[in-house]
Amino acid sequence: MLANLEKVLILVLLFLIAALFSTGTAHSAGPAGAAEPQKGATPQKTYQYERADCNSGLSGPDKTTCLREAGAALQEAKSGKLADANTDFEGNRIARCGYLREPDKGYCVRRMNGEGTVSGSVEGGGILRELVVIVPE
């Protein structure tokens, strides 16, 4: 009896592993085997990839919402209003300090530029940046 239970458990485990790999492979390959558009791809190419992703059911929102968002992104890109979020690292880093007033804003900019100590990680839940400043009395 125990041997049969072990066989069943092994088969279930193998099935789950196979399902996990097939899901990961299908998603990483993109919809219908299409490759993800390369960096710097034209807005039309990006739209075609996103549309295929919507039609395949791999995207998060429902198909109608997905297609509407892909079309809106295409229009924004054609009019030059859609910027690549990963191109302005310096601006993003300094913008984190924008809501602060001096002298805190200056200290924040210094932390963002690498002064002080850094601990933690994104995977661990956050990055802590610390800067010790001696303020004269």
What are the tens digits of pLDDT across the range 30-80?
444 444 555 667 788 888 888 888 888 776 778 888 888 888 888 888 877
Distance (Å, rounded) from C-alpha 95 to C-alpha 84? 16
Which pLDDT does position 130 carry in this prediction?
92
What's the whole-number mean pLDDT along residues 2-11?
Answer: 58
- Does 135 or 109 have the greater pLDDT score? 109
Whole-model pTM over 0.85: no
Segment 104-113 shows an average pLDDT of 91
Cβ atoms within 10 Å of 96's Cβ, excluding its own: 13
On whether the CB atoms of residues 8 and 16 are closer than 8 A, the answer is: no
